């Protein structure tokens, strides 16, 4: 079920909120779990069983880790240490094994078969469960935090299930650590102000998704329909800009809606974006884009590998590992690996000296970032190697042949999408967020939010394209 759907807006959400608010506070986690499983089960009627099974296994391992043995103190400590290590090892094998089976098995098997020239490994052809990377990463973080001792007491069964399955962030994040919302899981209040502010945030996110991401996405689709090899440099850059805006407003819009829904049920979910297209370097961009994923990899991969504490060469090796995994996290295809490695190379160059120069000249840094980011998004979006090579070649002015989508067509697209592109540029700056906080409680701001909601619903009823790009990750 999509947040930006008539079914969610006018059926699921009103019924859920009425039940959630009517029950006593101590029963709200039960309603949250039940509602979240229904929300997920509507889109994944079979894989909801996988979600439930994963929750049960991970909860059992959490409880096992905290079970106190009997006997002398020294012996108890040794047994507890062994139990902690055993529970973590089993949890990681289970969670990563499930993730590998559903997301990466066919990629690995296909690669092996192509290299060997024959079929050594069978393809499973399993559909990818929605949000599996997100909820598996949440469970892994909880297991590691329990092992480290940062979580002192095990969550209750309903609390743990609510933490993993909470529908506002179940299928596309943000990735939340249990310690960040532990207290809210056990005790929270929902006041009128929370409902009001949550609805305002949700409406703002809905507008970003439906009125910006969905609409500008049609320009990218038009370019890809024309064929990557048939684009002039101007057309190729225009398409890359369109996709850059689409993926940003798609994912940012979802994250804002998730924060709004979280506020409505008493949670403060973390921000996932902070004006990434206003960055002055690639390093700065990744401090602002999908911040909870970056924080997860830093906490559970980069720092355990040694971070930047063991010399320049080791730091670069650690960065390469993190960015290869980041690429693979987004998708089981070689273009995602290339996308991750390309960011590693850019970040390495900045760490080796370019970053200091960019800090001295902010304008140059902004231009540098705004030129490179669309190139990386093309690598991210185009999975076919031949098409990817053709598209990047046309961006560089190397025409690969075929009927060109040239100047006349680009001018037509600019006339057709000019206002929308200008709106995307404006909303990629920090100003709309400032205006939102300034006007959201005034009559004028409320009128704008009502208009955004009405226009968004009208688009949804009209049946316009409404994909969530990050659902496939």
Interior angle at CA 75, CA 74 and CA 76, nearest 5: 90
Taken in order 266, 267, 272, 274, is the CA torsion positive or negative? positive
Q: Are 392 and 378 in contact (CB under 8 A)?
A: yes
**Cα 273 to Cα 252, 306, 447, distances in angstroms:** 7, 26, 26
**CA distances, 252 to each of 340, 415, 426, 468 (Å):** 20, 26, 15, 11
Which run of H or of E encompasses 252? helix 233-264
Token digits of residue 110: 């296909």
Looking up tokens 């990750």 gives 473
Kindly state the tokens that stand for 332: 């089981």
Give every CB contact of residue 351 below 8 A, 6+ residues apart in sequence: 283, 315, 316, 319
Question: Which residues are bridge partners to 231 per DSSP?
Answer: 405
Rounded to 5 degrees, φ, ψ at 278 are: -95, 10
Question: Residue 203 in contact with residue 453, Cβ under 8 Å?
Answer: yes
Beta-bridge mates of residue 405: 231
DSSP for 200-228, please give it: HHHHHHHHIIIIIIHHHHHHHHHHHHH-G
Active-site choice (290, 330, 366, 437)? 330
Contact 170, 200 (CB under 8 A): no
The answer to whether residue 330 is catalytic is yes
109 Cβ partners below 8 Å, 6+ apart? 120, 121, 122, 123, 124
Query: b/e per residue, 144-167, with b = 16+ CB within 10 A?
Result: bbbbeeebeebbebbbbbbbbbbb
Q: Residue 342: enclosing H or E segment and its boundaries?
A: helix 334-349
CA distance 102 to 184: 32
| CB 301 within 8 Å of CB 325 | yes
Residue 166's SS3 state is coil
Token pair in block for residue 43: 């889109």
Q: Which two tokens stand for residue 94?
A: 């289970």
Specify the 3-state DSSP secondary structure of 231.
Answer: strand
Active site amino acids: 330
């Amino acid at each position: 079920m999509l947040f930006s759907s008539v079914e969610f807006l006018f059926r699921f959400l009103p019924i859920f909120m009425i039940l959630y608010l009517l029950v006593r506070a101590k029963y709200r986690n039960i309603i949250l779990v039940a509602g979240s499983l229904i929300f997920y089960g509507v889109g994944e009627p079979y894989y909801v069983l996988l979600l439930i099974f994963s929750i049960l296994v991970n909860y059992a391992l959490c409880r096992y880790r905290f079970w106190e043995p009997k006997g002398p103190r020294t012996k108890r400590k040794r047994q507890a240490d062994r139990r902690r290590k055993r529970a973590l090892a089993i949890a990681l094998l289970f969670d990563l094994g499930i993730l590998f089976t559903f997301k990466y098995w066919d990629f690995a098997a296909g690669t092996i078969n192509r290299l060997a020239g024959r079929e050594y490994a069978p393809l499973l052809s399993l559909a990818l469960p929605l949000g599996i990377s997100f909820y598996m990463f949440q469970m892994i973080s909880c297991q590691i935090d329990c092992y480290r001792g940062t979580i002192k007491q095990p969550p209750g069964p309903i609390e743990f299930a609510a933490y993993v399955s909470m529908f506002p962030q179940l299928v596309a994040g943000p990735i939340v650590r249990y310690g960040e919302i532990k207290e809210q899981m056990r005790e929270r209040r929902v006041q009128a102000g929370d409902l009001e502010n949550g609805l305002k945030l949700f409406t703002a996110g809905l507008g970003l998704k439906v009125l910006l991401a969905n609409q500008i996405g049609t320009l990218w689709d038009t370019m890809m329909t024309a064929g990557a090899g048939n684009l002039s440099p101007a057309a190729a850059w225009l398409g890359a800009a369109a996709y850059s805006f689409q993926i940003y407003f798609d994912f940012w819009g979802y994250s804002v809606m998730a924060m709004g829904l979280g506020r409505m049920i008493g949670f403060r979910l973390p921000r996932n974006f902070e004006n990434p297209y206003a960055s002055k370097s690639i390093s700065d961009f990744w401090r602002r884009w999908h911040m909870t994923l970056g924080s997860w990899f830093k906490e559970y991969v980069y720092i355990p590998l040694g971070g930047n504490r063991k010399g320049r060469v080791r730091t670069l090796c650690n960065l390469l590992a993190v960015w290869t995994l980041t690429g693979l996290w987004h998708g089981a295809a070689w273009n995602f690996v290339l996308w991750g490695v390309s960011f590693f190379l850019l970040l390495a160059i900045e760490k080796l000296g370019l970053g200091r120069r960019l800090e001295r000249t902010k304008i140059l840094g902004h231009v540098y970032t705004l030129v490179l980011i669309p190139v990386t998004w093309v690598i991210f979006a185009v999975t076919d190697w031949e098409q990817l090579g053709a598209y990047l070649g046309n961006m560089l002015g190397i025409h690969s042949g075929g009927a060109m989508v040239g100047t006349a067509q680009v001018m037509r697209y600019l006339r057709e999408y000019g206002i929308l592109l200008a709106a995307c540029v404006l909303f990629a700056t920090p100003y709309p967020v400032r205006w939102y906080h300034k006007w959201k409680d005034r009559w004028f701001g409320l009128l704008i939010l009502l208009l955004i909601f009405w226009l968004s619903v009208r688009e949804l009823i009209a049946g316009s394209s409404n994909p969530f790009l990050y659902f496939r990750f």
